Amino acid sequence: MMRLRAWSRTFGLLAPLAAIAALGWPAAARPFVAATIRGRVDVPAGSTATNGRPDVAALSMSMHDTVDRRRCVVYLDPAPRPAFDPGDEPHARMDQRNEGFVPHVLPIVVGSWVDFPNDDRTYHNVFSLSKTRPFNLGRYAAGRSKSVRFDRPGIVRVFCDIHSHMSAFIIVFAHRYFSVTDDEGRYHLGNVPPGTYNVAVWNEAHASQNRRVTVPDGGGDVEADFTLR
């Protein structure tokens, strides 16, 4: 819980940064040789999967997929100025499939729309009570989709009102320097201008980590690995 609060504070700081960026950063934009920060995040075994509550009142075996909690989001905190350049309103997608949200962790940039199509044969009722973006899409059937726009940075916990084992995270950033780890835990943050940055890692089940990383003027690849505890 402390981790969630810390994140809320972090995003609270990012919002003013976005405003400053929109007004113009003191150091004027200049050409640079971009770099890629890449690496790997190791998540401890044994805490990577979770099932729902014991379904004692049910008459049947739940066959929904186990939630993979290994996914991490790696991001710059704070981000360089170009990250705050205004862009379009991208669409992202979070499916309701086999009584689960796919993907389970979805990072987006402020102003994005997220579509929530129902790919199951049963009703779902997507909702969130988060301060960042509370919403309730109600019950809707297979083949239908509803969308939500996310205007503030922060963490949005997403649930289904019908299936208590369904949950997901939408992480709304004020900039574009973020990446989700793949199946092997690898990530990369591309097009990073020279400078020294704080690279942060977030995972739903583990404490966040930060590292200082310097991107040289000449660009290239910079490695930064993490091991969560």
Partner 1 sequence: MRLDRLVPLVILAALGAPGRAAAQVLPERPLTLANGQVSVSGEVTASIGPRSDPGFFDYTDYEHNALRMLRLSLSGRWRPSARLAVLAEVRTENLERPTPYALFVRVRPWKAKAFDIQAGRIPAVFGTFSRHAYGADNALIGYPLAYQYLTSLRADAIPRTADDLLIMRGRGWHDTFPLGSTAATTGQPVISAYRWDTGVEARVEKGPIEAAAALTTGTLSNPRVGDDNAGRQLSARVAWRPFVGAIVGVSAAHGEWLAGNIKNRLSMALQDRSYPQTAYGLDAEYSRGYFLARGEVIASRWTLPPLDAPQIDAPLSAMASYVEARYRLTPRFFVSGRADHLGFSDITGHLNNNLPTPWDYPVSRVEAGGGIYLQRNLVMRAVVQRNWRDGGRVREATFVSGQVSYWF
**Shortest approach of partner 1 to residue 206 CB, angstroms?**
14
Q: Are 178 and 74 in contact (CB under 8 A)?
A: yes
Amino acid at 140: Y
C-alpha to C-alpha distances, 41 to 135, 144, 172, 202, nearest whole angstrom = 32, 36, 21, 10
Instruction: Identify the residue among 52, 111, 194, 219 touching partner 1 (CB under 8 A).
Output: 52
Which CB atom, from 27 or from 63, has the smaller least distance to partner 1?
Answer: 63
Contacting partner 1 within 123-142 (CB under 8 A):
123, 127-132, 134-136, 138-142
CA-to-CA distance for 228 and 207, rounded, in angstroms? 7
Which CB atom, from 132 or from 179, has the smaller least distance to partner 1?
Answer: 132
Contact between 50 and partner 1 per CB under 8 A:
yes
Q: Contact region for partner 1 (CB under 8 A) — 12-20, 31-39, 83-91, 118-126?
A: 118-126
Instruction: Identify the residue among 8, 36, 145, 209 touching partner 1 (CB under 8 A).
Output: 8
Task: Supply the DSSP string of 68-132, one letter for each residue.
Answer: E----EEEESS--GGGGS-----EEE-EE-SSSEESSEEEEETT-EEEEEB-SSS-EEEEE--SS
Q: Are 140 and 123 in contact (CB under 8 A)?
A: yes
The contact set with partner 1 (CB under 8 A) reads: 1, 4-5, 8, 45-46, 48-61, 63, 66, 121-123, 127-132, 134-136, 138-142, 157, 159, 161, 164, 167
